[in-house]
Amino acid sequence: MGRYPFLGFSAISKLEKHPLAFSPLKRDLIEMARLDQLPVELIQQICSLLCPHCLGSDADWFKPLTFEAEDRIKIREGHHALAALCRTSGYLRSVAESYLHHFIYQWKATELSLASTTQALTSRPYLGQAVKTVEIRGDRVGCLSRAFASHFEDVAAGYHVKLPEGWAESDDPKVRSSVILQLLLLHICGAKDVSFTLRLCADFDILEAVQAAAANSGNEASCFLPKLHRLAVYFCGPTESRLGLLAPLLRLAPNLSTLCLQGAQACETGRGMRLAGVTILNLDMCNFNPDALAGLIGSCSRLEVLNMKWDTRGPIANKYGLQPHHVLGSLQKHKESLRSLSMDVIRSDPWCPPADLSLVNFSNLESLWINFNELRASDENGWSAAAFFLPRLLPQSLRRLYLLDDALNVGFDFAGLDVLMKQGEFPELAEIACFYDRIGTPQAGNVTTSPADGNRFVALRGGRGGSKLVKSPNMFNPMRSWH
């Protein structure tokens, strides 16, 4: 092109405040800068700050990027910024392109689309080097055929592969099972690792077929199962028998590092499940007998992340009586390895924690996400009592504390929690965030926020040197960490 357009810093407000990227640039001196004047390090920093799931949303990875003829470009949406900027300058593209195509989402799962994908990856070496993950999403009946499975191997080779649930070429479960089994066992050997989802109310036969193949042939299953690094299992109804079928599969997947179980009910024994290599465990709306949970968590050699959400209401929950102190008791084996813990308990009545409930000996715990309702004392001064209770609960290694409260009162001030950040007992604590559900006005000094404007997430950030209240409509969701 010979001529580079201008980059308006005022158009990328999310990036201009970042201290690493923009501290060398004085905004009062540089309102507009030519792209060819920006150092490579700064462009790389800008690229790394953009949303990783959206970098390619405005790019066509089947063909090289073309340059726009506009002299100036203003970036209004962060998720379009990188692809748009890459179209303006060969210099910028050469720096940013490796950030652009980390994910390939194959929405139309057809033989033709796979052929186009393979051609793009092989004809453009830089694209093949930039892509990290291939995710195939086939949401329609008929989207997956044997021909599709045979072409999948070329696309899957060398990448992280995510496979969806519920693929089918017909309504016949035996046909669906045979096709998915062919895909998994025969055409995924070249992948670096695999993420797979099972919905056992619909795909129970698939799991049986995998087990049978592993028992009968060994060679086919040994190609797929060692590649399995992430597995999500969604249950329907009583799950003891299904857990029993899942256990042998897990024993044949030695590299499984992330496991998500959702909706597992009436789990009394765990049926011999062994999770030796699992470091991230998500138990979403599962009801375990406390002893079964202890056995499940204890089977992990080195657990680093545990996310749990369960309901204490109803006959099954009342039968087991699983409480937070049962969870902490089960985690004692991992007190040196656990980095992140999330506990969200749905209750119908307040609960006063036992005096010995503590995380102080979890020496490497950095992030705690907890339903603050469960820490509410028995009197009316729940928040102040809970804030008083927190210091003896938290370890000194904690960096982030997330509190969920469905009953935050109008006029609550953060002074009690702010003390945690300033008194020096928790030298690493940099953020305390609270998500509130009722109409109210949390206050910190002269700063107020109200859910009336859609902001229901407030956070204290800063540390001992001073903290500030930040409001945002977003809430960290620990149950997504398995992805």
Specify the pLDDT at position 348.
58
Beta strands 457-461 and 431-436, pairing class:
antiparallel
pLDDT of 2 strictly over 70? no
Q: What are the structural domains of the chain?
A: 6-100 (no CATH), 350-483 (2.60.120)
Is residue 334 within 8 Å of residue 368, measured between CB atoms? no
344: left (phi over 0), alpha (psi -120 to 50) or beta: beta
Say if strands 72-73 and 6-8 run parallel, antiparallel, or are unpaired. parallel
Whether 395 shows a pLDDT value over 50: the answer reads yes
Supply the pTM of this predicted model: 0.70
Q: Using alpha carbons only, what angle is made at residue 456 by residues 455 and 461, rounded to the nearest 5 degrees?
A: 90
Look up residue 80 and give its two tokens.
């379009």
Task: Read off the pLDDT of residues 53-104 as tens digits, 9 standing for 90 and up.
Answer: 333 333 343 434 333 333 333 333 333 455 565 666 667 666 766 666 666 6
**Mean pLDDT of the 406-433 span:** 61
Better-predicted residue by pLDDT, 37 or 375: 37
Radius of gyration, alpha carbons of the chain: 26
Hey, which of 64-68, 182-186, 312-316 has the most confident mean pLDDT?
A: 312-316
Q: What is the pLDDT of residue 47?
A: 65
Q: Which residues pair with 338 in a beta bridge?
A: none
Could you write out the three-class secondary structure of 434-482? EEECCCCCCEECCEECCHHHCCCEEEEECCCCCCEEEEECCCCCHHHCC
What was the pLDDT predicted at 71?
A: 33
- Determine the pLDDT at residue 464: 45
Above 90 in pLDDT, residue 305?
Answer: yes
Tens digit of each residue's pLDDT (9 = 90 or more) over 108-161 = 556 666 777 777 777 776 666 777 777 776 544 345 566 666 677 777 777 778
Kindly report the number of other CB atoms within 10 A of residue 4's CB atom: 17
Q: Above 80 in pLDDT, residue 259? A: yes
- Per-residue pLDDT for 338 more than 90? yes
Provide the pLDDT confidence category of residue 280 given band limits of 50, 70 and 90: very high
| Tokens standing for residue 185 | 């066992």
pLDDT higher than 70, residue 295: yes
Q: Are 220 and 188 in contact (CB under 8 A)?
A: no
Q: What residues contact residue 65 under an 8 Å CB cut-off, 6+ apart?
A: 59, 83, 86, 87, 93, 97
* Choice between 294 and 106, residue whose per-residue pLDDT is larger: 294
